[in-house]
Amino acid sequence: MSEYTVAIHAAEEGGFWVEVPALPGCFSQGESLDEALSNAKEAIETHLDALKQDGKEIPKDSDLFIGRVSIAAPTTPA
């Protein structure tokens, strides 16, 4: 069993969209977080199947960590 890091984004029109950094071009979406993650799993499986059928190497997920950094809002010059 393999694991892939996913980045989950809130969609402007509602719901969520998901990207898989280790698999360029692998995206998915869903109306709820659970649906987006379920659809992402299916997208990853489909993407990996296509790579295998094309005889391409299956990328491993790197040690990618997604985090947040807080900064102070810039001030407006007087």
Q: Which two tokens stand for residue 30?
A: 């869903």
> Rounded CA gap, 51 and 49, in Å?
5
Q: Which two tokens stand for residue 12?
A: 């402007």
- By the 8 A CB rule, do 15 and 31 touch? yes
Q: pTM for the complete prediction?
A: 0.80
Residues 3-60: pLDDT tens digits? 999 999 999 999 999 999 999 999 999 999 999 999 999 999 999 999 999 999 999 8
Which residue in 41, 42, 34, 43 sits closest to 16, CA to CA? Answer: 34
10: CB partners within 8 A, 6+ apart: 16
